[in-house]
Amino acid sequence: MAEQHLAVVVLAAGEGTRMRSRKPKVMHEIAGLPLLGHALVTATQLGASYVVPVVRHQKELISEYVSAFFPSAIIAEQDELPGTGRAVECALEAIPADFDGAVVVTSGDVPMLDVATLEHLIDTHLESGAAATLLTAVLEDPHGYGRVIRNSAGAFLEIIEELDATDAQRKVNEVNAGVYVFDAKHLRDALASTGTHNAQGEKYLTYVAEAFVKSKQKVIAMQVTDNWVVAGINDRRQLAEVALELNLRICEAWQLAGVTILDPASTWIDVTVQLGEDVTLMPGTYLRGFTTIDEGSTIGPEVVMTDTQVGAGASVIKAHVTGSRIGDGASVGPFAYLRPGTDLGADGKIGTFVETKNAKIGAGSKVPHLSYVGDAEIGVGSNIGAGTIFANYDGVDKHRSTVGSHVRTGASNVFVAPITIGDGAYTAAGTVVRRDVEPGAIALNVSPQKNLADWVLQKRPGSKSAEAAETAQKAK
């Protein structure tokens, strides 16, 4: 196949009313990409000269997405004339008039259609010299789909949409998958003479194949062996079904690549995620966006991770992590919340009930428990005591704090930004640090403890505390 003689049209003009959504159907996501994104990735991987998504409903939103992520695609806009045939006609008007290669037509709501299936379809089309080649599927319940009608010898005759079909034709369970390859010149000529004489008043692309048959041109209907690759999405139930199947296949592919996934049914991995060998994913793990995990790391159970880079041999347990970096051998969780801008160095630790944001934590440094670290930088080998709060907001602006290397801070500290704590310094338990601490110094708030004798007996007479105090005093 010569890629320079190939154009791919992706139909994305429909309203998708059965989704019952303000969002266009093709912009609903599975496995980290909008449905249209899956279709355009596949189209792009074919190496075609022209990739043409056709838009109409909420065209501005869809066009913005296409322009941002598929800048080489040519966006075509369908006019008021409805139907798939008209959509393809508009796409052909967007590419050079002298293009005479093969035209692949697919849909923006068929996310599992893969390159191998399309390449086989294209090769079959080119080798046979057919004017059109299309994919079909045999379904147990063909309701709602156009039926593929063949003659007694099994040759393709026509496609009948369900609303136009007779009772006998509706019993046919071979359906049109909505994926085609056409000869460009023949396609242009056939579309020019295609009308809208049907129950919907639309210009159907399926009429083109029928016209080829009537004019004695070859049309091949090729049945897929895996119906999932042509599974279309019309409502949210189907969206969930296809998402589940795609995710199970993603998990299976990673298992075969050397990743241990204990429970694929509860593990979700976006197509944009990258995993190293000997990574272990525990149950309840969700890996999203452009997350990468290096070899030997263990993620989960119950981790949601988005756009995060994890080094080798790291461990993340019961945590929510977004836009962060976790170094080699580092550990996170359980019950940790890493917000964007968190950078945990090698062998570092972010422990139980710790929240971080825009924080760089050096190699070997630890924030073990019950702390908030925001807008801060911590050097290497430091330990942040339990219950420490980096108070980074003064009510108007946020400020940054710096903690040096090999610092030891006490429990229940508050660091009021902006401050700097020098290398090797200590802070005492319960200290509120409001000014810089020199290297090697200890910061503490000196305030003598004062005990008011018999306060409970005087202020809480008759209480359980008062009774306990009286008993203790009498026992002396």
Residues 388-412 have a mean pLDDT of 96
Q: Is residue 409 predicted with pLDDT exceeding 60?
A: yes
- Judge whether residue 197 has pLDDT over 80: no
**pLDDT for 311 beyond 90:** yes
70 has a pLDDT exceeding 90: yes
Q: What is each CA distance from 386 to 319, 368, 369, 410, in whole angstroms?
A: 18, 7, 5, 7
Rg (alpha carbons) of the chain, rounded to whole number: 32
Average pLDDT, the chain: 94
Can you give the pLDDT at residue 396? Answer: 93
At residue 2 the predicted structure's pLDDT band, cuts being 50, 70 and 90, is very low
**% of the chain with per-residue pLDDT over 90:** 87
| Distance from the Cα of residue 65 to its chain's centroid | 15
What confidence tier does 251 reach under pLDDT thresholds 50, 70, 90? very high
Q: Which one is catalytic: 125, 320, 369, 406?
A: 369
**How confident is the model at residue 58, as a pLDDT?**
94
Q: Please state, in angstroms and rounded to a whole number, the distance separating the CA atoms of residues 435 and 420.
A: 8
Tens of pLDDT, residue by residue over 206-237, are: 889 888 988 899 999 999 999 999 999 999 99
381: left (phi over 0), alpha (psi -120 to 50) or beta: left
pLDDT digits (tens, 9 = 90+) for 418-448: 999 999 999 999 999 999 999 999 999 988 8
197 in active site: no
3-230, superfamily in CATH?
Answer: Spore Coat Polysaccharide Biosynthesis Protein SpsA; Chain A (3.90.550.10)
Mean pLDDT over 292-303 rounds to 98
27 C-beta neighbours (distance < 10 Å), count? 19
Output DSSP code: residue 67: H
Tell whether the model's pLDDT for residue 255 goes beyond 60.
yes
pLDDT of residue 202: 80
Q: What is the pLDDT of residue 207?
A: 86
Residue 198's pLDDT band (boundaries 50, 70, 90)? low
pLDDT of residue 446: 85
Mean pLDDT computed over 34-48: 96
pLDDT at 4: 52
Closest CA to 361 of 327, 391, 328: 327
Higher pLDDT among residues 198 and 26, named by residue: 26
What was the pLDDT predicted at 15? 86
- Give the span between the Cα atoms of 139 and 238, in whole angstroms: 15
Domain ranges of the chain: 3-230, 236-443
Per-residue pLDDT tens digits for 458-468: 999 999 999 99
Distance CA 343, CA 156 (A): 60
Q: Does domain 236-443 have CATH number 2.160.10.10?
A: yes
Residue 1 is predicted with a pLDDT of: 40
> Partners of 32 in the beta sheet?
none
